[in-house]
Amino acid sequence: MGESFSKVQHLVSDKLKELRVKTEKLFNVSVEPETAYDLKGQAAGQANYRENRIRFNRDLLEKYTHEFVNQTVPHEFAHLVAYRKFGRTIKPHGLEWKSVMIALGVEPERTHGFKVAPSRRLKRFVYRCECPDSAYELTSIRHNRIQRGGVYLCKKCQSPLQQALKDFHGEE
């Protein structure tokens, strides 16, 4: 990691310290997450309450430092605070998370506006359910989960999705 990235990491660390102090005063909750800078693709950040960890997209952090530190860092931190304060059954961007964001003085926006290089295009597989003329295009990630025993259900008929023999174009 170069010297410039070290400075950027300090900005994130300082922001997290500031947010921790506010959180302890406002919510009487202590949150000290581990941080990593290994996130790739379109997501700017990712909070994992089970591991008490926040992952950041280093490329976006370096490219959009000011906006990232002031929006993305509080966004992800607020997820951990909301789960700690209100429990695991809350919606990720629900009222509880929004209330934490507002209390921390940050606009509760779900997505960032950073320009991101297109992410890799995953191979798609066609699946069907029991609904007439159904067709679902699943990525290779979900396809592989199904191959290992995972199950995805149709939201309408609740039947498990089954891989189709032919794709949308009639090809096998």
115-154 CB burial, b ≥16 within 10 A, e <16 = eeeeeeeeeebbbbbeeeebebebeeebbeebeeeeebeb
16 near 61, Cβ under 8 Å?
Answer: no
Catalytic residue among 3, 24, 51, 76: 76
Q: Is residue 171 annotated as a catalytic residue, yes or no?
A: no
Strands 45-48 vs 162-163: parallel, antiparallel or unpaired: unpaired
Provide the 3-class DSSP secondary structure of residue 127: strand
Over its C-alpha atoms, the chain yields an Rg (Å, rounded) of 20
Phi-psi category of 71—alpha, beta or left, where left has phi over 0 and alpha has psi -120 to 50?
alpha
- Which residues are tagged catalytic? 76
